[in-house]
């Protein structure tokens, strides 16, 4: 997978723990070796050795042939050959041709075998803990008392496609250079094993990604089979025929829309049509240090007033600790903060119609909307941002996506607004004071608002100018990359984004981080919302305008009233030209 890393991405995320299945595989292989070394009478069954070799090959993305499988069985050739054929007839082993003639083929575990091994993995772990004791004894308690093991089913590993995808030159993918998409790159071999073809991935920073997508749209035929798209771009890309509507090329039911967080699924739509599949649903939350709050006798903030009070109490520059960090760099970064802060005070940036869950966005394609920045709620939001400055680091006006999380991870910040995709910076860093000490909250609400977690993230879609003969294979690859099994694999290898309910409730996933259960709860409470950044074609320009005018306000060059008036006027001019 050829990767050009994003300019703002330098985090190499190692797996937090080895996958449970690999751990049990290693244990059983080692136990078998020990038994065989004790006595020839204790030799493991060839069927077990065959199964373990198939499963490990599948997980590690290694080619498994009849020859290698016979060798792994440690049985005589005729015996091993007979056992393999028995397992094929029993539906435990799938065979896939490697050449057009079909004379050369690879062997793979079937879904039935993967399901059986997933269940065996859990049973072996529970038996080991119950018999010998372990630091994960709580998981056994959960099992016996009917907690997570009985309320959610563990998602099995990805299953190889019955036929390899026919894509001359391999699958070509364009993504953003963030931690989740880099996890996909690290899992190249597994995905290539699954879809049966090479994968070539390019990754760019967010601004360069948009430029490359637009350049690609001008080509006669797309240079990419699948592209990642920032959610606010959906309306613009749909209007400009950059993305192909999914209902034009596939049965939408295959995606299982009901399994996605409602806000994430709604966010990929424009004019009632889905233009991609949610690949990342990463809400912006308030990260806070539970240990510092407890020491200071503070409750987690539910309102903007609570947040300012907590920031003031924890702000201690002389000890090198500041109250809060947030996106305040000029332009795009601060512009996002402005839109989300407006939402905290109950004010969308457009005159959206109110509904039971917040504000309505389904009619945006009709283009009947106007900008709403210079309002009483807008003034409250502007003043709140000015108040935050008092308890922020001295370099706050140059802080953006990663800069606000790094000092939080280093223990120099008590609270930070941040997307869940950045949580690996402290969750996977053993040296971080914030590891295992971070609480996750929706944005505290201002007067007139309600707690919300503004949804960010990416969809994966198919370019509108993709050559017709590549579309069916691109659809199958898209389904594989966004499946529950794939999403679970991303999480197990360091990602902290997840668009699906089934993945968030998976007991293996919940053990890795409290962030998944917290986000699922926010979704059920209707706190996950994407209306704070409505995906209209003009949204990028509106964000840029807000990020410029409010930056001047925070620097003291203009008043909050002037910032609101100027941002409103410039944004109105943009809409009048559209």
Mean pLDDT over 442-457 rounds to 95
CA–CA dist 45, 73 (Å, integer): 8
Predicted local confidence at residue 401, as pLDDT: 86
Mean pLDDT over 56-69 rounds to 80
Mean pLDDT over 305-332 rounds to 97
CA–CA dist 264, 185 (Å, integer): 23
DSSP single-letter state for residue 220? S
pLDDT band at 38 (very low <50, low <70, confident <90, very high): low
Predicted model pTM: 0.74
Predicted local confidence at residue 43, as pLDDT: 64
Pseudo-torsion of CA 15, 419, 271, 476, nearest 10°? 0
Predicted local confidence at residue 42, as pLDDT: 64
Predicted local confidence at residue 316, as pLDDT: 97
Confidence check: pLDDT of 567 > 80: yes
Confidence check: pLDDT of 34 > 80: no
Confidence check: pLDDT of 65 > 80: yes
Confidence check: pLDDT of 16 > 60: no
282-455+528-577 homologous superfamily: Periplasmic binding protein-like II (3.40.190.10)
**CA angle in degrees (0–180, nearest 5) for 274-275-278:** 85
List the structure tokens of 242: 């950059």
Considering the chain, what is the average pLDDT of its residues? Answer: 87
Confidence check: pLDDT of 12 > 90: no
Predicted local confidence at residue 78, as pLDDT: 85
Query: Element (H or E) spanning 208, and its range?
Result: helix 206-217
Confidence check: pLDDT of 509 > 50: yes
Predicted local confidence at residue 9, as pLDDT: 29
Mean pLDDT over 263-281 rounds to 93
298 Rama class: left (phi>0) / alpha (psi -120 to 50) / beta: beta
Predicted local confidence at residue 3, as pLDDT: 34
Examine domains 171-281+458-521 and 282-455+528-577 and report if their fold is the same: yes
Mean pLDDT over 188-207 rounds to 93
Predicted local confidence at residue 17, as pLDDT: 30
The number of beta carbons lying within 10 Å of the beta carbon of residue 505 is 17
pLDDT, greater one: 397 or 150: 397
CATH number of the structural domain 20-151: 1.10.10.10
Q: How much of the chain, in percent, has pLDDT values that exceed 90?
A: 63
Confidence check: pLDDT of 559 > 70: yes
Mean pLDDT over 254-262 rounds to 89
**CA angle in degrees (0–180, nearest 5) for 480-482-486:** 70
Which of 53-57, 192-196, 482-486, 499-503 is predicted with the least confidence, judged by mean pLDDT?
Answer: 53-57
Predicted local confidence at residue 146, as pLDDT: 30
Confidence check: pLDDT of 149 > 50: no
pLDDT band at 29 (very low <50, low <70, confident <90, very high): confident
**CATH 3.40.190.10 correct for 171-281+458-521:** yes
Predicted local confidence at residue 329, as pLDDT: 96
CA–CA dist 320, 317 (Å, integer): 5
Confidence check: pLDDT of 292 > 50: yes
Q: Give residue limits of the domains in the chain.
A: 20-151, 171-281+458-521, 282-455+528-577
Query: CA–CA distance from 99 to each of 12, 22, 164 (Å)?
Result: 36, 30, 10
Query: Element (H or E) spanning 553, and its range?
Result: helix 539-554
pLDDT band at 142 (very low <50, low <70, confident <90, very high): very low
CA–CA dist 505, 155 (Å, integer): 10
Confirm if 462 and 249 have CB atoms less than 8 A apart: yes
pLDDT digits (tens, 9 = 90+) for 220-246: 999 999 999 999 999 999 999 999 999
Confidence check: pLDDT of 148 > 90: no
Query: CA–CA distance from 37 to each of 24, 27, 41, 100, 148 (Å)?
Result: 20, 15, 10, 43, 39
pLDDT digits (tens, 9 = 90+) for 313-325: 999 999 999 999 9
Confirm if 543 and 506 have CB atoms less than 8 A apart: no
Confidence check: pLDDT of 374 > 70: yes
Which residue bears the tokens 């050559």? 467
pLDDT band at 20 (very low <50, low <70, confident <90, very high): low
Predicted local confidence at residue 144, as pLDDT: 30
Predicted local confidence at residue 30, as pLDDT: 72
Predicted local confidence at residue 207, as pLDDT: 85
pLDDT, greater one: 10 or 133: 133
């Amino acid at each position: 997978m050829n990767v050009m890393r994003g300019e703002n991405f330098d985090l190499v995320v190692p797996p937090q723990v080895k996958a449970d299945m690999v751990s049990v595989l290693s244990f059983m292989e080692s136990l078998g070796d020990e038994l065989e070394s004790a006595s020839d009478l204790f030799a493991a069954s060839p069927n077990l050795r065959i199964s373990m070799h198939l499963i490990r090959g599948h997980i590690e993305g290694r080619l498994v042939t009849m020859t290698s499988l016979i060798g792994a069985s440690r049985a005589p050739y005729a015996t091993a050959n007979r056992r393999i054929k028995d397992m094929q007839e029993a539906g435990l082993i799938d065979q896939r041709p490697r050449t057009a003639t079909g004379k050369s083929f690879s062997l793979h575990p079937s879904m039935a075998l993967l399901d059986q091994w997933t269940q065996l993995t859990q049973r072996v772990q529970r038996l080991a803990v119950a018999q010998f004791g372990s630091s994960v004894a709580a998981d056994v308690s959960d099992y016996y008392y009917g907690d997570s093991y009985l309320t959610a089913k563990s998602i099995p590993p990805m299953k190889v496609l019955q036929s390899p995808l026919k894509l001359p030159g391999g699958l070509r993918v364009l993504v953003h250079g963030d931690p989740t998409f880099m996890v996909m790159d690290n899992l190249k071999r597994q995905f290539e094993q699954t879809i049966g073809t090479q994968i070539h991935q390019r990754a760019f920073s967010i601004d360069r990604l948009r430029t490359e997508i637009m350049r690609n749209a001008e080509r006669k035929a797309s240079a990419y089979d699948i592209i990642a798209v920032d959610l606010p771009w959906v309306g613009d890309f749909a209007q400009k025929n950059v993305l192909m509507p999914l209902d034009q090329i596939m049965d939408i039911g295959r995606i299982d829309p009901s399994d996605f967080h409602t806000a994430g699924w709604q966010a990929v739509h424009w004019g009632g049509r889905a233009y991609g599949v949610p690949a990342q649903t990463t809400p912006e939350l308030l990260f806070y240090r539970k240990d510092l709050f407890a020491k200071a006798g503070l409750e987690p903030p539910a309102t903007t007033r609570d947040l300012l009070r907590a920031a003031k109490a924890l702000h201690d520059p002389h000890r090198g600790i500041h109250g809060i960090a947030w996106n305040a760099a000029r332009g795009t970064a601060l512009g996002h903060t402005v839109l989300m802060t407006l939402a905290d005070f109950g004010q969308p940036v457009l005159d959206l119609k109110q509904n039971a869950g917040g504000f309505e966005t389904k009619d945006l394609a009709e283009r009947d909307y106007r900008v709403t920045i210079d309002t009483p709620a807008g003034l409250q939001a502007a003043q709140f941002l000015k108040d935050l400055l008092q308890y922020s680091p001295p370099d706050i006006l140059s802080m953006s996506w990663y800069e606000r999380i790094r000092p939080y991870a280093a223990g120099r910040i008590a609270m930070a607004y941040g997307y869940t995709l950045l949580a690996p910076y402290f969750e996977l860093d053993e040296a971080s004071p914030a590891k295992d000490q971070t609480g996750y909250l929706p944005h505290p609400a201002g007067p007139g608002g309600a707690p919300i977690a503004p949804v960010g993230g990416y969809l994966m879609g198919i370019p509108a100018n993709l050559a017709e003969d590549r579309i069916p294979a691109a659809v199958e690859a898209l389904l594989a990359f966004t499946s529950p099994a794939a999403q679970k694999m991303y999480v197990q290898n360091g990602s902290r984004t997840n668009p699906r309910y089934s993945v968030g409730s998976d007991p293996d996933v919940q053990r890795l981080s409290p962030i998944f259960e917290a986000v699922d709860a926010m979704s059920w409470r209707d706190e996950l919302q994407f209306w704070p950044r409505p995906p209209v074609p003009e949204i990028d320009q509106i964000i840029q305008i807000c990020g410029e005018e409010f930056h001047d306000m925070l620097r003291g060059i203009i008043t909050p009233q002037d910032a609101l008036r100027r941002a409103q006027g410039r944004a109105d001019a943009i809409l009048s030209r559209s």
